Amino acid sequence: MEFEAVIGLEIHVELNCKTKLFCDCPNNPGDKPNINACPVCLWFPGASPRLSQEALEKAAILCLALGANLQPKSAFDQKVYYYPDLPKGYQLSQAHFPLSRGGGIDITDEDGTTKRLRIHHIHMEEDVAKLGYEMEGRVPVSLVDLNRAGQSKAMGFLIGQVMQASGGKANPKIIRELLAKILKKI
């Protein structure tokens, strides 16, 4: 019996936006911890999230640059899980109606032949908080920085057999460089 390794890639792209995905908090995760957080980030009762037009436009341009088909209908869902980096208990993500489907990334092999890595879909998602770990004397402590919570992300899913199709050239560094080039122009 012969086996074939099937390897896909899930790629996260942070969108360079001025604000977070659903509120007006600055999109500056490197600032002093927990100063860029509001009731929407923390999903307090009564909070009114509003989708960032800038994030939507940048994500849509990224999809088009990758040859993807923007969907006539896309929507956000609640991905429920409990973890300290997600105090509100769920993450807003496009689980069922992604922003785009299809598209691809072209990789050129050493012999000069170009192969296309197909993209299954691209969806938008808010990021979660950042966790840090330190010692207070002899006691290990976990620290939560909510500056990153709610940041805009676009996620692409490359279809299986990525590595075989690319002859091993589809390493994350090459794909990262390609996406960085596209994002610089948006």
41 binds Zn ion (CB under 5 A): yes
Choose, by CB under 5 A, the member of 17, 23, 92, 107 that binds Zn ion. 23
Q: Does 25 bind Zn ion (CB under 5 A)?
A: yes
Contact window for Zn ion (CB under 5 A) among 22-30, 66-74, 96-104, 177-185 = 22-30
When asked if residue 38 is in the footprint of Zn ion (CB under 5 A), the reply is: yes
128 near Zn ion, judged by CB under 5 A: no
Q: What is the 3-state secondary structure (H, E, C) of the chain?
A: CCCCCCCCEEEEEECCCCECCCCCCECCCCCCCCCCCCHHHHCCCCCCCCCCHHHHHHHHHHHHHCCCEECCCCEEEEEECCECCECCCEEEEEEEECCEECCEEEEECCCCCEEEEEEEEEEEEECCCEEEEEEECCEEEEEEEHHHCCCEEEEEEECCCHHHHCCCCCCHHHHHHHHHHHHHHC
Shortest spacing between CB 24 and Zn ion, in angstroms: 7
Q: Nearer Cβ to Zn ion, position 52 or 74?
A: 52
Binding piece for Zn ion, criterion CB under 5 A, among 6-14, 40-48, 85-93, 176-184? 40-48
Which region among 17-25, 98-106, 137-145, 161-169 touches Zn ion (by CB under 5 A)?
17-25
- Residues in contact with Zn ion by CB under 5 A are 23, 25, 38, 40-41
